Amino acid sequence: MSLPDFREKQILFIRAEKELENRLQFKNDNLTFVKDGKIINQLSCYKIFVVFIIGDFTISTPLIRNCNKYGISIFLLKNNFEVYASMNSESAGNFLLREKQYIKSKQDSLELAKHIVKNKIFNQFALLREVKKIKDGRLNLKSIFAKIDEAKDCNSLLGLEGNISKIFFKKYFSELNWYKRMPRTKVDEINILLDIGYTFLFNFVDSLLLLYGFDTYKGVYHTLFFQRKSLSCDIMEPFRSIIDRQIIKSFNLKQIDLADFKKTKDGSYFLSYDKQNKY
């Protein structure tokens, strides 16, 4: 893809609505979104880079053929943004990109991992300054970044990142009776919301990496093991602050109701089935 195309073309998200017939079709070189026989929206196929279809949709072989003709990739996503199928992804044969991934030395991978951790911590400090939890984090950042530069391996980096994240969560969510970050344990409502948000973020990052032809299982920071999408885990790290910020914003706007969460006998929390679409 040329730079002008990269700048001008758009990523199109289309979400299905339950109990309606959702259909995508081509009409006069436009991609048309149809609900129950009515045209809801349309966009010139020359402006579309990729289409992400979320939920249950009707697509036809002419649609797939036309998308292939105009170089439009199609990704089919579950409601949590997890990719379960893709079509016409021209970047799938980008062997030069994957070769670059595979021949990275341990030292090169470590340097990239340091950049990832620095970006994540920088964004965390930016959020703390935004809510006035710290006056100026530049001096602290300087010393933290110096320690990151001295790290000899990814395990050392994980330790540094984990310690900073503990401080960040405690300060940033202090007004929400924060306990501690415990992934997938469902110990409280905030941890559930973080799990939901981070899952959406991971799946979205994974789909974008697949779009460009990356091997999402070959990362530089998170440990490589069977069926773990380590690169997606790596790249999502600096963007976790998007989810953190949105949770605080949603609480401030009264969009989150703690009554939507239920507690089991063993003390774990879960989101009521009828409230899941809300979040």
Q: Where are the beta strands (DSSP E) in the chain?
A: 10-15, 22-27, 30-35, 38-44, 48-54, 73-77, 83-87, 261-263, 269-271
Task: Please report whether residue 174 resides in a domain.
Answer: yes
> Do 140 and 10 share a domain, yes or no?
no
Residue 177: what pLDDT? Answer: 86
The angle subtended at Cα 122 by Cα 254 and Cα 249, nearest 5°, is: 5
Other CB atoms closer than 10 Å to residue 28's CB: what's the count? Answer: 8
Residues 8 and 63 in one domain: yes
Last residue of one domain, picked from the residues 88, 111, 142: 88
Confirm whether 52 is domain-assigned: yes
Per-residue pLDDT of the chain (279 residues; tens, 9 = 90+): 667 777 888 989 998 887 788 888 888 889 998 888 888 889 999 999 899 999 888 888 888 888 888 888 999 998 888 899 988 666 667 788 899 999 999 999 999 999 999 999 999 999 999 988 776 555 588 899 999 999 999 999 999 999 999 999 999 999 998 989 998 888 889 999 999 999 999 999 999 998 888 999 999 999 888 889 999 999 999 999 999 999 999 999 999 998 888 888 888 888 877 777 777
Residue 143: inside a domain, yes or no?
yes
Quick one: 110 and 219 in the same domain?
Answer: yes
Q: Which CATH number does the domain housing residue 62 bear?
A: 3.100.10.20
Q: What is the pLDDT of residue 18?
A: 79
Q: Looking at the domain assignment, is residue 93 inside a domain?
A: no
Instruction: With respect to residue 271, please indicate whether it lies within any of the assigned structural domains.
Output: yes
Q: Are residues 103 and 83 in the same domain?
A: no
Q: What is the CATH number of the domain that holds 136?
A: 1.20.120.920
Extended beta strands in 36-133, E state: 38-44, 48-54, 73-77, 83-87
Whether residues 77 and 193 fall in one domain: no
Q: Name residues whose C-beta falls within 8 Å of residue 255's C-beta, 6 or more positions apart in sequence.
A: none
pLDDT at residue 240 in the model: 98
Helix (H, G, I), strand (E, B) or coil at 104: coil
Query: What is the pTM assigned to this prediction?
Result: 0.86
Question: Is the domain of 137 the same as that of 220?
Answer: yes
Q: Residue 130 domain-assigned?
A: yes
Domain check: are 163 and 260 in the same one?
Answer: yes
Last residue of a domain, one of 35, 65, 88: 88
Phi, psi for 266 (deg, rounded to 5): -85, 5
191 is a domain residue: yes
Task: Verify that 184 and 50 share a domain, yes or no.
Answer: no
Same domain, 77 and 211: no
Q: Are residues 197 and 116 in the same domain?
A: yes
| 116 in the same domain as 83 | no
Q: What pLDDT was estimated at residue 250?
A: 94
Please tell me whether residues 63 and 114 are part of one structural domain: no
End of a domain among 60, 88, 116?
Answer: 88
For residue 263, the model assigns a pLDDT of 85
Identify the pLDDT of residue 139.
54
DSSP 223: P
Domains in the chain, number:
2
Boundaries of domain holding 55? 3-88
For residue 121, give Cα distances in angstroms to 168, 170, 230.
Answer: 9, 14, 19
The answer to whether position 35 is within a domain reads yes
User: What are phi and psi for residue 249, nearest 5 degrees?
Assistant: -60, -45
**Contact (Cβ atoms closer than 8 angstroms) between residue 53 and residue 173:** no
Looking at residue 254, its pLDDT comes to 93
